[in-house]
Amino acid sequence: MRDTVQAEVVMTFLVSEELSFRIPVELGYDSSDPYAVKFTFHLPGDAPVTWAFARELLLDGLSQPSGEGDVHIAPASAQHLSDVFIRLQVGGEGALFRAGAAPLVAFLDRTDRVAPLGEEHSVADFDYDLAAALDSILAGNPEGQNAG
């Protein structure tokens, strides 16, 4: 059985010290990929952009700087955990967002009800997914149906 969690939050896109604007961001979680969360950013004048990264990275980033590579999440202030910075990097280009921690915590709480952190393996049905993928491939290949 596949469960999903959806939410929408408003984040601040920090273009520079002088320029920032608020944008809607869709948060998504699907138990078929229990280790990941997806953020879809709706930037004005551009097509939506979706980033997928580890759910645990989001959780860790709420209380301490976390992430290596393309995604970094950290509290905006060491004293107050009310906001977090999310930095997304592609090559030399990057984008910085500021989000309230409370809606992210609420989203993570809802995902935890679907698949408790540390127990993701219990909701992932990799054998079923593999069998479904193989069935789909073989259904499109008549020669493959006779193989075996």
Q: pLDDT value at position 116?
A: 83
pLDDT in tens, 8-19: 999 999 999 999
13 within some domain: yes
Domain of residue 96, residue span: 4-123
129 within some domain: no
133 within some domain: no
Report the predicted TM-score, pTM, of the whole model to 2 decimal places: 0.78
Q: Is the four-CA dihedral 116, 117, 119, 122 of positive or negative sign? A: positive
Q: pLDDT value at position 56?
A: 95
Residues facing residue 15 across a β-bridge: none
pLDDT in tens, 58-108: 999 999 999 988 999 999 987 777 999 999 998 888 999 999 999 999 999
Can you give the CATH number for the domain in which 63 is found?
Answer: 2.30.31.20
Domains contained in the chain, number? 1
Of the pLDDT bands very low, low, confident and very high (cuts 50, 70, 90), residue 45 is: confident
